[in-house]
Amino acid sequence: MLPIGHYLFLSLALFIIGVIGVVTRRNVIVVLMSIELILNAVNINLVAFSRLYGDVAGQVFALFIIADAAAEAAVGLGIIIAFFRNRETVLADEMDLLKW
Amino acid sequence: MLDKVLFYFFAGIAVASAALMVTRRNVVHGAIFLITALLATAGIFLQLRAEFLFIVQIILYVGGIMVLFVFVIMLVNLDVALQQIQFARQKWVALLVSLALSAQVALMFWSSGKMPGQGLPVLTAAAAERLPPNSETVAHSLFESYLLPFEIASVLLLVAMIGAVVMAKKKDVTP
């Protein structure tokens, strides 16, 4: 079978790609999708360790993370729709109403 | 052997489509590539014998969350946004953050004194008929040990649902 390091490196790669997406993209929808990717990378870690130690608690926590991701996507996309209705933009650096 | 082939297949698809998701200009293409990455992750879950999470990943992530994303992408005006610059000037911040994360993992391996893949614990192969039924064990754990977090998660989803409706509602609707 595979060593646990393989899963750690896959998770690290997905996490870093997600962080790069959050930092570099201007479109808020792509930023939210990158956050989903980050949560997914964490899930891979949890499930791999759950398999390693033969304990399903990791899978249960992955379930909770998926529920959190659903809640975050719903609220985030609602905010994006409300903002687009007011300002006609989805670019992160044009959202500067609170910037002094 | 089959495990290794499956892992590299799904991991390659996941990393490649994640990289494409971040770099494509068109948001719809990005959403499609994210769906591919999530499906490949579901394959990784299946390879790890987490059948329940495999199904949940496909139904909830790909069938629920990504459909929501595609709906919102269609709602906001895409043609205007495509003409604008898609990347903020934060290349160096991104490089710095990813280097810091990699250094953290390298430090972890260095402090454990083992090379990756050598001294780390290896997932033991169990015969298929000796594995416990995955959905049942997850359900037992979820509804016995983690019942309170489960209820709190349901409250969280209710709050998120109300919040999303309030956010997306038109403000000038007179009662």
Q: Quick check: B128 pLDDT over 80?
A: no
Residue B149 lies in a domain: yes
DSSP run (H or E) holding A5 = helix A4-24
Question: What average pLDDT does range B2-23 have in this prediction?
Answer: 92
Please give the structure tokens belonging to residue A90.
Answer: 């989805």
Residue B163 lies in a domain: yes
Same domain, B86 and B138: no
Predicted structure pTM score: 0.87
**Nearest-angstrom CA–CA distance, A76 and A83:** 10
Residue B112 lies in a domain: no
**Domain encompassing residue B160:** 133-175
Contact assignment for A90 to B153 by CB distance below 8 Å: no
The beta-carbon neighbor of B65 closest among A12, A73, A88 is A73
Question: What residue segments make up the domains of chain A, in order of their start?
Answer: 26-89
ipTM score for this prediction: 0.91
Domains contained in chain B, number: 2
Same domain, B143 and B93: no
CATH architecture of A26-89: Orthogonal Bundle (1.10)
Please give the structure tokens belonging to residue A45.
Answer: 């870690």
**Nearest-angstrom CA–CA distance, A63 and A57:** 10
Using the Cβ of B167 and the Cβ atoms of chain A, whether some distance falls under 8 Å is answered with yes
Strands (E), chain A: none
Residues of B in contact with A64 (CB under 8 A): 146, 149, 153
Q: Quick check: A5 pLDDT over 70?
A: yes
Q: Quick check: B106 pLDDT over 70?
A: yes
Question: Above pLDDT 90, what percent of chain A?
Answer: 49
- When scoring A12, A38, A42, A47 by the number of chain B Cβ atoms within 10 A, the one with the most, hence best to mutate, is A47
Using the Cβ of B96 and the Cβ atoms of chain A, whether some distance falls under 8 Å is answered with no
- Confidence band, pLDDT 50/70/90 cuts, at residue B159: very high
- Taking phi first (over 0 means left), then psi (-120 to 50 degrees means alpha), and beta for anything else, what does residue B49 get? left
Under 8 Å between Cβ of B30 and B24: yes
Question: Above pLDDT 90, what percent of chain B?
Answer: 37
Residue B170 lies in a domain: yes
- B residues 141-160 closer than 8 Å to A (CB): 141-142, 145-146, 149, 153, 156-157, 159-160
Contact assignment for B50 to A51 by CB distance below 8 Å: yes
- Confidence band, pLDDT 50/70/90 cuts, at residue B134: confident
The tens digit of pLDDT for each residue in A43-87 reads 999 999 888 888 889 999 999 999 999 999 999 999 888 888 888
- Confidence band, pLDDT 50/70/90 cuts, at residue B123: low
pLDDT number for residue A44: 94
CB neighbours of residue A91 within 10 Å = 17
- Confidence band, pLDDT 50/70/90 cuts, at residue B36: very high
Residue B117 lies in a domain: no
More confident: A5 or B18: B18
Judged by average pLDDT, the poorest of B29-38, B75-84, B113-122 is B113-122
Same domain, B95 and B137: no
The tens digit of pLDDT for each residue in A15-44 reads 999 999 998 888 889 999 999 999 999 999
Please give the structure tokens belonging to residue B30.
Answer: 């990005």
Residue B113 lies in a domain: no
Task: Tell me the count of A-B CB pairs closer than 8 A.
Answer: 235
- B residues 19-58 closer than 8 Å to A (CB): 19, 21-22, 27, 30-31, 34, 37-38, 41, 44-45, 48-50, 52-53, 56-57
